[in-house]
Structure 1
Amino acid sequence: MSAASEASDPVLPEGATRDAFLGGAVTALQPGRGRHRSGLDAVMLAATLSADTDGTVVDLGAGSGVAGFCVAARAPAARVVLVDNDPVASDLARRALALADNMAFAGRVSVVETDIVGPEKVRVAAGLTRAMADTVIMNPPFREEGRVRASPNAARAAAHVLSDEDLDRWMRTAVTLLVPGGGLSVVWPAERLAALLGALSGRFGGIAVLPLHPYADTPALRVLVTARKGSRAPFRLLQGRVLHEADGDFCAWAKAVLRDGAGLDMARG
């Protein structure tokens, strides 16, 4: 760690950690046990955007900012707005932006603390206006309400449990924020793909789905989904990608994404 980095280190809340992503190009401050922590899903989500992405990228449900930070680090022409209603996660994102490690992109990232599915007037008052975004990315809460035992920790439960009705509200917010033809990227559990496609229907087209398999002989657990507001382009199911070799090590393509900041060309598959 450099002297400059040490000098700028904030005093972290108890249990919070300092975590490096993209081979050290990004430093995130994340909450400790009992709250949602970002990892592979967030980095893969960011990789759905190309390095030449520009304009405003809104990260809905940004948590402590890992996915949005990775977008900003990979796409130097992009401005990123992190949106979350968790004051602890939002505070950690702001603290991380003050780190010397993140100076290369911190000036292009802002944090908005508001309710994604609340009244639009509340979001507008917080700075989220209609058609402000060229791209929206999101890693929504992914567990289906009633299918799993929610965490007794309210903050952790809110970050992991989502009804189909609330998923529809997330998409309603996304489509409101996007310019016509704006792009959407989502990381989502494969088992709930039908619910996501239902929420996209009538709002987005040109949908591409990339399944992510933990191993070559296992079903996909996650999907990366991209779409365009108002597009009439056909649906595409892309060839799935395998994350790990048989020995548990990441495959070469996954290492390139996670450590080197490589992108996933969802347009070509």
Structure 2
Amino acid sequence: MTAADLTCDAFLGGRLSIWQPRKGYRAGVDPVLLAAAVDARPGQSVLELGCGAGVASLCLGARVPGLQLTGVEIQPFYAGLARRNAQQNGLGLAVHEADLARLPTELKARSFDHVIANPPYFLRSRGTEAPDAGRERAMGEATPLSDWLMAAARRLAPKGWLTLIQDAERLPDLLAAMPGALGSLSVLPLAAREGRPAHRILLKARKGGRAAFRLHPPILLHEGRAHQRDGEDYTAAISAVLRDGAALPLPG
């Protein structure tokens, strides 16, 4: 792939410059929202499963200084982009090219304060494959959600937090596959506009947590019931996340 096949895109209002393929899987708002929902503190360790080009980890690192960031990515091309993006933005991100179901020994020997993930949304039994192989791997579920959740549970330190973003219709699948080690589940629905059903959910779970399940009121991404004007119409809270790198608190 040549330089002409890539674009360098601004995230967080220009605080980050991210190289992505011109065609194929391209990060949008989902990894930014995921990063904003992670309640990390300086000095803590974070593992991202399926880090792609590194957008979620780097957005988190831009907001919270001093994190120990680690990513796992199965596709060599995207793993290379994640390393390049980390270096370009002056953020430390150790990227391991590996299958999350068969992590390298050095990662199996570690535990993390946080695990984050943006797993593929689409069951291939319900749709057709994307023509681009990279996009298909990122968006079409090849590794079951249960494997993502088990990998997260194994790598979390006691009382550590899993934070992930997923298509809202997959919430029953997530709850059914949740390992017993993960509790204190908290779900925040994300709806595009007033009067519309949630299309994404943010989910938090704590290793060893015992708090009751919490389903929070949905957060709206856009103002109004319909798009009324040219340009963006994000709500003030979402605009602050996307443009200023603000946090999106998700109570535990």
Superposed displacement of residue 160, structure 1: 1.0
Q: Does 1:47 align with 2:36?
A: yes
Residues of 1 paired with 2:114 and 2:65: CA distance?
15
Deviation at 1:203, TM superposition (A): 2.7
Task: Give CA deviations for 1:60-107 in whole Å, capped at 9, x if unaligned.
Answer: 1110000000011111031111210111111111122232xx12xx2x
Q: Which amino acid aligns with 2:168?
A: A
- 1:189-219 CA distance string (max 9 Å, x none): 0011000111224131111100000010111
- Which residue does 1:250 correspond to in 2? 234
1:110 counterpart = 2:101: no
**Structure 2 gap ranges (5+):** none
Match of 2:133 in 1: 154
Cα deviation digits, residues 108-152 of structure 1 (max 9, x gap): 32111101123xxxx234x31244211000000110231111113
Within 5 Å, give how 1:96-175 maps onto structure 2: 96-99=85-88, 102-103=89-90, 106=91, 108-118=92-102, 123-125=103-105, 127-162=106-141, 166-175=144-153
Corresponding position: 1:63 with 2:52: yes
Would the aligned equivalents of 2:40 and 2:114 in 1 still touch at CA under 8 Å?
A: no
The residue that corresponds to 1:7 in the other structure is none
The aligned residue for residue 231 of structure 1 is 209
Q: In terms of mean alpha carbon deviation, does 60-69 or 238-247 score higher?
A: 238-247
- Runs (4 or more) in structure 1 with deviation over 4 Å come to none
**Counterpart-to-counterpart distance in 2, 1:158 and 1:174:** 19
Which residue matches 2:15? 25
After superposition, the C-alpha distances for 1:231-267 in whole angstroms (9 at most, x for unaligned) are: 1111000110110113361011110111111111212
User: Quick one: distance in 2 between partners of 1:86 and 1:150?
Assistant: 17
Equivalence for 1:3? none
User: 1:5-16 residue pairs with structure 2 within 5 A?
Assistant: 13-16=3-6
Number of paired residues? 246
Evaluate the alpha carbon distance shift between residue 219 and residue 41 of structure 1 in structure 2; reply closer, same or farther with a 3 A threshold.
same
Q: What TM-score do the two structures reach when normalised by structure 1? A: 0.86
Compared CA separation, residues 183 and 51, structure 1 to 2 (3 A): closer
Contact 2:37 2:250 in 1 (8 A): yes
**Alignment partners' CA distance in 2, 1:185 and 1:143:** 19
**Contact 1:50 1:75 (C-alpha < 8 Å) held by counterparts:** no
Residues of 2 paired with 1:191 and 1:18: CA distance? 32
CA–CA distance in structure 2, aligned partners of residues 204 and 30 of structure 1? 33
Which one-letter code corresponds to 1:214 in the other structure? Answer: A
Q: Secondary structure at the match of 1:14?
A: helix
> How much does 1:223 deviate?
0.3
CA contact 2:146–2:177 (8 Å) conserved in 1: yes
Q: Deviations over 1:147-184 (max 9, x none)?
A: 11111333221111116x71111111111111111100
Task: Give the CA RMSD over aligned residues.
Answer: 1.8
State the identity %.
39
- Partner amino acid for 1:43? V
Against the structure 1 CA distance between its residues 53 and 167, is the aligned structure 2 distance closer, same or farther, given a 3 Å change threshold?
A: farther
Q: Residue 31 of structure 1 aligns to which amino acid in structure 2? A: P
Q: Tell whether the 8 Å contact from 1:130 to 1:176 is kept in structure 2 after alignment.
A: no
